[in-house]
Structure 1
Amino acid sequence: MSPRGVAMPDIRERLFAAAERVLAREGPGALTSRAITGEAGCAKGVLHAHFAGLDEFVADLVLDRFAHTARQAEALPGRVGEGTVAGNLRDVALALLDSGGPTIAGLAMTRPAASLRLRRALEAGAPGFASVQESITGYLDAEQRMGRLATGTDTAAVALAVVGTTHHLLMTGWSGAPDPREQVRRLIALLAGAAGAASDDAAAGE
């Protein structure tokens, strides 16, 4: 337990990671300021020293994870011509699905103040689904120019399908629902096949 007055490096990330563990282990009903700080091993007042309250904390957690995924998507151009198109798309889609996970994203939507803060931040340009979609479109355009994607493929529509489906799965994830990761893998395989892109299985057989 960190004593009062002692600075802790990366305290926001420490609290975010603690919240994710509480959610994974005990579910949304157990997520309280006390539970988060206890899991993080810090003083009870630390969360409120960095956030106005639990709603702000939840919204900022989702925004932080979205930003991390957006950075991963921005790195897609560096993978042009490497691996398979399907594999590269799948990696980004799964990263987006894990950007806070269905439980965290769903929690934000059930807390009106957190949801409003999240929406306003995204409208103001915070990295989110739109920026990931743009990165995927740009990546697919580059792969198309290299001939690894069929000429005439509507790359913007493929990117929208990937991001839109992942968004849907994030917002509707609940206990007992089908595994969202398997659904994402199936979607990517379908889109890659329709776009004439090599699949991982095909590449493995080359």
Structure 2
Amino acid sequence: MSPRGVAIPDVRERLFDAAERVLAREGPVALTSRAITGEAGCAKGLLHAHFDGLDEFVAELVLNRFARTAQQAEELPGQAGRATVADNLATAALALLNSLDPTVIGLAVTRPAASLRIRQALEAGAPGFTAIQDAITAYLDAEQRLGRLTDGTDTAAVALALVGTAHHLLMTGWSGAPDPREQTQRLVALLVGAGPNNAAATQDVPEK
């Protein structure tokens, strides 16, 4: 336990990580402020010192994970010309799928106050699916300029299809559902790897 009055670095992240461990091990019914702080090795009242109750905590956990994935996606345009388009898109989509355990999403959905906070934050501009979609579109535009996608490829539509599918898989990732990684890879192959005109999408750009 942390001594009273001693600051804990990255306390929010520590509490978020602890909550994910509690959810993975014991499920949503076990998620209480006491369980979270106990798992994190913090004083019992620490969660309420940083969040206005469990609903705000759950909402901030979801928003934090979305923001982290959006930040990763911002680096995607810099990968243009490297590896293959299919590999790069699959990596971005899998990062989104891995950003949150389906249990966390399910918990947020069943807590109306948390869902409302998330929606309001996203509408106000918090990084989320739209930011990730924009980053993927920018990446595909860069690949198009390099000739690894045909000029007629609707990059915005491809990004929307990929992010929309990832969103759907996140929301329906219950036990017994098909492996989302396999489904994502099949979708990526369909979007950018099918047909002779996009054959370059599966090839590296030669180094000069």
Give the TM-score band, short-chain normalised: over 0.9
> Aligned equivalents of 1:23 and 1:167: distance in 2?
20
Q: Distance in 1 between matches of 2:30 and 2:192?
A: 40
Separation in 1, partners of 2:120, 2:30: 26
Residue identity (%): 76
Q: Within 5 A, what are the aligned runs for 1:150-165?
A: 150-165=150-165
Structure 2 unaligned segments of length 5 or more: list them.
Answer: none
Number of aligned positions between the proteins: 202
**Structure 2 counterpart SS, 1:130:** helix
1-structure distance, mates of 2:67, 2:78: 18
Q: CA deviation at 1:151?
A: 2.1
Equivalent residues of 2:149, 2:201 under 8 A apart: no
Alignment of 1:188-199 (within 5 A): 188-194=188-194, 196-198=198-200
Structure 2 SS opposite 1:176: coil
- How far has the Cα of 1:101 moved from its partner? 2.3
* Deviations 1:23-67, CA, capped at 9 Å, x for gaps: 111221211111111110111111011000110000000100000
Kindly report which structure 2 residues correspond to 1:55-94, keeping only aligned pairs within 5 A, or say none.
Answer: 55-94=55-94
The corresponding residue for 1:113 is 113
**65 and 197 in structure 1: CA distance in 2 versus 1, 3 angstrom threshold:** farther
List per-residue Cα deviations over 1:61-95 (Å, max 9, x = no partner).
01000001101111011111011111111111111
TM-score with structure 1 length normalisation? Answer: 0.93
Please report the RMSD computed on the Cα atoms of aligned residues, expressed in angstroms.
1.5
Mapped to 2, the partners of 1:129 and 1:69 lie a distance apart of 9
The residue matched to 2:148 in structure 1 has which SS?
A: coil
- In the TM superposition, residue 199 of structure 1 has moved relative to its aligned partner by 6.4
2:43 counterpart residue number: 43
TM-score under structure 2 length normalisation: 0.92
What is the letter of the counterpart of residue 22 of structure 1?
A: V
* Runs of 4+ residues over 3 Å off in structure 1: 197-200
Q: Which amino acid aligns with 1:17?
A: D
Q: Which ranges in structure 1 are unaligned for 5 or more consecutive residues?
A: none
Q: Secondary structure at the match of 1:3?
A: coil
Contact kept in structure 2, 1:192 and 1:198, CA below 8 Å = no
Please give the per-residue CA displacement for 1:74-131, whole angstroms capped at 9, x wherever unaligned. Answer: 1011111011111111111111111222221221111000000000000000000011
Structure 2 Cα separation of the partners of residues 4 and 178 of structure 1: 47
Aligned 8 A contact 1:73 1:135 in 2:
yes
Q: Cα gap change, 1:42/1:94 in structure 2, threshold over 3 Å: closer, same or farther?
A: same
User: Letter of the aligned partner of 2:116 in structure 1?
Assistant: L
Report the counterpart of residue 15 of structure 2 in structure 1: 15
* Whole-Å separation in 1 of the counterparts to 2:178 and 2:27: 18
Letter in 2 for 1:174: W
CA contact (8 A) 2:15 2:37 kept: yes
